[in-house]
Amino acid sequence: MMRTRWRRGWESFTIYLPVALMGLMALASWWLVRNAPSVLPSAPARAPVHVPDYFMQDFSVQNFDAAGNMTRQLQGDMARHYPDTDTLEIDAVRIHAKAPDGRQTRATALRGLSNGDGSEVQLFGDARVTREAMQLPDGKRAPELRFEGEFLHAWTNEERVRSDQPVVLWRDKDRFTANSLNYDNLDQVLQLEGRVRGVLQPAPAAAGGR
């Protein structure tokens, strides 16, 4: 009788043993998950730092068109490239640009902040942008234009010059001063604002005149 009871008990135990083992394993898994160390949060992405990644000294960078003609030359004593803004900060900046019609523009300043190819540049300190005189296809002469100030913002491709600070504009020997300037050569628009003054020189007398 005892042997029969023991056998039945053992059979019952072996039937429920897998269920009990599965319960123990589930309980162990829950305990491990609860007591496992939490994953450290990922470090936040670092904001770009305004630090130069390369320097150029006594440099000259030139751009050319498809025909191999130079369209722009950017020079300076020292340049620092900032990757966060993709700009060049240039000491003693000098720019020489040539338009397709042959018109030449030159810009200089004590310091410049330029995009990579020099097509847009902010000029600081003794800034000067000069559009050289040239003979037009109709035979007329386009006079030299020169902009001077402590700050000038120039776009050489669009032939635009702007400033929100006092400027001096020379048109040949004619002289104008203003508190701000907006010049667009392609649209033939010149805006002088603020306290505007001008001094116009008399045109030279024609040869043989009295």
CATH architecture for residues 54-199 = Sandwich (2.60)
Give pLDDT tens digits for 94-127: 999 988 888 899 999 999 999 877 789 999 999 9
Across the range 148-152, mean pLDDT stands at 97
CB 178 within 8 A of CB 195: yes
Q: Measured between alpha carbons, how far is 188 from 196 in angstroms, rounded to an integer?
A: 19
Among the residue ranges 86-95, 135-144, 156-165, 189-198, the one predicted with the least confidence is 135-144
Reported as a single tens digit per residue, the pLDDT across 151-179 is 999 998 888 999 999 999 999 999 999 99
* Mean pLDDT computed over 128-154: 90
Q: So where are the chain's domains? A: 1-35, 54-199
What pLDDT is stored for residue 16 in this prediction?
56
Looking at residue 84, its amino acid is D
Amino acid at site 75: Q
